[in-house]
A and B are shown apart, each in its own frame.
Chain A
Amino acid sequence: MNEITKDLLREISDWDGEFKGAYNIRENGQCAGRMSSRNIRIESKTDKPGLEIFIAPGTKGETVSIPACVTHGDVDDLVYNDFFVGENADVIIVAGCGIHTEMGEPARHNGIHRFFLGKGSHVKYLEKHVGKGHGTGLRSIDPVTEAELEENSVLEMDTAQIGGVDRTTRMTAAKLGEGAKLYIRERILTEKEQTAKTDFRVEMNGRDSGVDLISRSVARDDSHQEYHSVIIGNAPCTGHSECDAIISENGKVDAAPELHARDNDAALIHEAAIGKIAGEQILKLRTLGMTEEEAEATIIDGFLS
């Protein structure tokens, strides 16, 4: 594992020289370290690049980390990771990605993650993406997340891309069974001429299933973001989505939320707000002694926290 990978790991995961629990480190498309635990087994796929992660039923309080790092240009990394979460397990999955380039070649990581949550299981999924280095080549991260939630399972997704990634297309799709709950918190910051496209599709097929999707984004400079969500209620269920964006300089945001109620007892709500930072917010923080620039940075940090 090289030093750049170590720096990236500190940013995208809770690595502090070691992981607590099962892990697999992916470095430039290769495995740079792996450990399974008694309850969490990590195996390589045999038909394509990637992993199969088996979490035993009833596993409680364990963490599995599967960070991926690209430390130079001219890498196009594609990986398929499948998570099989046993009934009544309660675990944390950390799956960040960092790209570092110093030259002019492009670098890309494309992680396709599939989650199969057994009955009554609970997963907290943390995904942080960063781009680093002075390279002029395009840094791209294109995650695909697919999830199937069985009866009364809960998936909490907390995803963040805070700077340095030039292009990203993020696709998330989920199907929810009876009583299943999906919570998504997405935060994206784009600057310069970066672009980010996020696409959510959630199908609530089971009675009393629910989704709460909150996306917060900041588009600065000449960057451009697109947000598209589709929430489909095929059963008595509750769905809420919220898309808030701050734009500054020439930043642009397109938001297109869709709600589809296919059951008479589906209750679906969408909220959206796009705009620049309110002048009153800046004023308030300036009365606390901040400069205008400090106030703006504080508001954006808080918004994306």
Chain B
Amino acid sequence: MIILLRLENISWNTPDGMPVLHDLDLTVGDGRLIVITGPNGGGKTTLAKIIAGIYTQSSGKLYLDERDITDLDITERARLGISFAFQQPVRFKGITVRKLIELAAGEKLPLDRICSYMSKVGLCAEEYIDREVNSTLSGGEIKRIEIATVLARHSAVSVFDEPEAGIDLWSFANLIKTFEDIRTNLNGSIIIISHQERILRIADEIAIVAGGTIKAQGKPDDMMKLLAENNAVSGKCYRQEEMF
């Protein structure tokens, strides 16, 4: 397996010095779908933001396709092929859905291309493309548009921070299919931060983050078994209701 993204000894402290991640190692294979899961507060979102360059690691190294990207900022990492879908997307007064997706794609897009991205997240493009990405859109709509912007980038590595949050059941089923399509039809790798069992089940690999480090990384069956055992034995690291 070709390693596309590699993190070595990543640590991150809060501005007041509290350690959140320590000596974390992670590898993501080319074309693989990795789901990062674990208890709340374990450092999952922090890890995702460090990959995208939104947070800067306190120490450690990151490599994309064997290129050292440790010192590259958000913009440079985005241009090299790392995309990020925010858990709580931001709104823009005056910027339309069409404009935002075109900004993501880096080019003007024909309607059918925009339709394709929008339909993957359960939205009808013709109803939405001329609407502003502002407070007139619901939280669920904004979330789906956020995911569509990442789809439009066709990145080497697409990071989705809890994509299921705020998504209704029908769109969620569609979203699962979208992730499977990306894995099948595109060369890129996908990293998803999630608690959702259905997302865990489509992963090529699951990485369990707890206490600021990777506790385990492996095949879904093995990791799900580990999670279940851990829950049965201690109930300390992973509470079942948080996981599924």
Contacts and interface: CB of A to CB of B under 8 A. Distances in A.
Nearest to B150: A287
Nearest to A242: B93
Contacts of A298: 95, 103
B92 A299 contact: yes
Given A283-B54, A298-B103, A290 B75 contact: yes
Nearest to A290: B75
Interface string B65-82: 000000001110011000
B5 to A, nearest CB: 16
Nearest to A292: B75
Interface in B84-100: 84, 86, 89-90, 92-95, 99
Contacts of B173: none
Contact of A289 (B92, B94, B106): B106
Contacts of B106: 288-289
A285 B103 contact: yes
Nearest to B85: A287
B149 A303 contact: no
A302 B100 CA distance: 10
> Chain B interface secondary structure, helix, strand, loop or mixed?
mixed
A283 B53 CA distance: 10
Contact of B79 (A289, A301, A302): A289
B35 interface: no
A288 B52 CA distance: 11
27 contacts: A216-B94, A244-B93, A280-B86, A281-B90, A281-B92, A284-B89, A285-B103, A286-B73, A286-B75, A287-B54, A287-B74, A288-B104, A288-B106, A289-B75, A289-B106, A291-B75, A292-B75, A299-B95, A301-B94, A302-B94, A302-B99, A303-B92, A303-B94, A303-B95, A304-B94, A305-B94, A305-B95
Contacts of A280: 86, 90
A216 B132 CA distance: 14
B107 to A, nearest CB: 12
A303 B93 contact: yes
Nearest to A303: B94
6 shortest interchain CB distances as A-B pairs: A302-B95, A302-B94, A280-B90, A289-B78, A303-B94, A286-B74
Nearest to A301: B94
A170 B84 CA distance: 43
Interface of A: 216, 244, 278, 280-281, 283-292, 298-299, 301-305
B95 to A, nearest CB: 4
A134 to B, nearest CB: 30
A287 B84 contact: yes
A244 B93 CA distance: 9
A288 B94 contact: no
B45 interface: no
B189 interface: no
B92 A302 contact: yes
Interface residues of B, number: 22
B157 to A, nearest CB: 12
B153 interface: yes
A216 B94 CA distance: 10
Contacts of A283: 54, 74, 90
B213 interface: no
> By CB atoms of chain A within 10 A, which of B73, B75, B104 has the most?
B75
Contacts of B149: 288
Contacts of A286: 73-75, 78
B106 to A, nearest CB: 7
B37 interface: no
A278 B95 CA distance: 14
A287 B56 CA distance: 14
A301 B103 CA distance: 13
B93 A302 contact: yes
Given A283-B54, A299-B95, A288 B90 contact: no
Contacts of A291: 75
Nearest to B95: A302
B194 interface: no
B46 interface: no
A288 B95 contact: no
B83 interface: yes
Nearest to B79: A289
A298 B94 CA distance: 10
Nearest to A279: B90
Contacts of B54: 283, 287
A290 B103 CA distance: 9
A288 B153 contact: yes
A280 B78 CA distance: 16
A291 B75 CA distance: 6
A290 B93 CA distance: 18
B93 A288 contact: no
Contact of B90 (A216, A284, A304): A284
A253 to B, nearest CB: 15
Contacts of B83: 287
